[in-house]
Amino acid sequence: MPATIGTGSGESGTQTATGPPSPSTSVEHRMQAEIDSWMGTPYVYGGTTKYGVDCSAFTQAVYRSIDIDIPRRASRQAVAAETVSRGNLRYGDIVFFNTSGSGISHCGIYLGNGEFVHASSSRGVVRDLLNHPYYATRFVQGGRFL
């Protein structure tokens, strides 16, 4: 059965997808369990808890759950990570976007099959499609810490 996921920043409606592949390694399983525990958490700029989180605190928390320390800000995460092209993304890579018009300002975690999870400023922690026009036109690069 297809999964229903969000359509992008601030838009109503849904898109359907077949869903990402299941995690295959113990690290991926640990990451997915942490991701699942954050789903639905509200967005709060500067937030770092399950009462409210922003995009880079969410990615930082997921990586912390697998004992990898990454920087707090999206722009610094992008600099610290190994750069990955969109076509070479793997489960757990961080995806970076320019949503402000002035460099990397948003991030999420790639799940596979074109899906990623992120803390949306309008919808909290949700899954979305990289090929949604809002994200496709703002994608800058992927980053790998695994």
- How far apart are the C-alpha atoms of 47 and 13, rounded to whole Å? 26
Active site residues: 55, 106, 118
- Sorted by where each begins, the domain ranges of the chain are 25-144
Integer Cα distance of 65 and 39 in angstroms:
15
pTM of the model: 0.86
Beta-strand runs (E) in 50-105: 52-53, 82-84, 94-97
Dist CA 107 CA 100 (whole Å): 12
Instruction: Give the whole-angstrom CA distance, residue 119 versus residue 81.
Output: 19
Domain 25-144 sits in CATH at 3.90.1720.10
Question: In tens digits, what is the pLDDT along the chain, a chain of 146 residues?
Answer: 333 344 444 433 344 456 777 777 899 999 999 999 999 999 999 999 999 999 999 999 999 999 999 999 999 999 999 999 999 999 999 999 999 999 999 999 999 999 999 999 999 999 999 999 999 999 999 999 99
